[in-house]
Amino acid sequence: MSGFTQTGTEGYYKDIFMDGGVDLYNKTYLPAADELGLTIEYIATEDETLQNERIIGNEYDANGILLYPDGTPRFRLLHTNGGSASTHGTSLDDQGRINIRTFYYYGGSYTGVCAGAFISSIHYQTSGINPSYYHIWPGRTKGTGTLNIYTGHFIEQGSPLLQYNNFGNDMYIPHIYHNGGCYANEDIDFPPGTEILLRYDKPGPGPMNHKVSCWAYKENDESGRLVDIGSHPEDVTSGEGLDLMKAMLQYAIGWTG
């Protein structure tokens, strides 16, 4: 799919910009946003030129659609879909990644799923900095290496997501799709102030059981809030999976800078 589409009342401020650009899933619909009555603009394209005209800028919009001329955010939240984090980040060039950091540090919130969680971090490896990542969560992710499964998530005691839903009062969210996503690496460079929201329930072979599957971070009072997850609740249209994505959006968007 190629193109740029916006929904909502023309001429009015939108709530969410959804990035489905190069090497990301080219999604055009976020059920949780619709359920919450949040308006969306999105890009859904594999055309790098078209993508970067929107995010970096063009002759009509010199600093990209994410930012007003003074550098403040045009949206309350940037949502990044799954796909390939490194190749997407590379496709944005330095200026595109700078625009996304500016969006966050000047008050725009962020949600990322799977690749969107990877790319928000500083690296998926235990050392070094990945130049194609956004670095808005100053911690390290690690790949689960687990493909095409459904897994549960334990709700961490005191998780802020419980402000928005009790999830059946059992501190557990079942049956969320997972396809090669990440977890937040607690063992190295774990940033102070990171909030652990959920942990994977995936016993058996593999590294992911009880690792941090969903986390939040706010750099300071002026920045937005980041809420990431390594799995895929974004397409769910009912039940606790939908409630999870709604709560993630609510927690992030309610704490813009």
pLDDT tens string 46-86: 999 999 999 999 988 889 999 999 999 999 999 999 999 99
Mean pLDDT of 121-140: 98
pLDDT tier, 5 (very low <50, low <70, confident <90, very high otherwise): very low
Q: What would the 3-class secondary structure string for 14-53 be? A: CCEEEEECCCECCCCCCHHHHHHCCCEEEEECCCHHHHHH
**Start-to-end CA span in the chain (Å):** 33
pLDDT tier, 2 (very low <50, low <70, confident <90, very high otherwise): very low
Residue 13: pLDDT over 90: no
Say how many C-beta atoms besides its own lie within 10 A of residue 87's C-beta. 13
* Rounded distance between C-alpha atoms, residue 155 and residue 212, angstroms: 10
In CATH terms, 4-253 corresponds, of 3.40.50.880, 3.40.190.10, 3.30.360.10, 3.40.50.300, to 3.40.50.880
CA dihedral angle for residue 177, residue 179, residue 180, residue 183, rounded to 10 degrees: -10
The whole model's pTM is what? 0.94
Q: What is the pLDDT of residue 207?
A: 92
* Rounded distance between C-alpha atoms, residue 35 and residue 252, angstroms: 16
Distant-in-sequence, close-in-space partners of 64: CB < 8 Å, separation ≥ 6: 54, 55, 56, 57, 96, 99
Residue 239: pLDDT over 80: yes
Q: What is the pLDDT of residue 206?
A: 87
* Rounded distance between C-alpha atoms, residue 169 and residue 9, angstroms: 37
Residue 131: pLDDT over 90: yes
Q: At what angle do helices 93-105 and 48-55 cross, to 10 degrees?
A: 40
Determine whether 182 is exposed, middle or buried from the number of CB atoms within 10 Å of its CB (0-12, 13-18, 19+). Answer: buried
β-bridge partners, 54: none
Q: What is the pLDDT of residue 89?
A: 98
pLDDT in tens, 27-37: 999 999 999 99
Mean pLDDT of 140-149: 97
Mean pLDDT of 111-125: 98
β-bridge partners, 19: 43, 80
Mean pLDDT of the chain: 94
pLDDT in tens, 185-234: 999 999 999 999 999 999 988 899 999 999 999 999 999 999 999 999 99
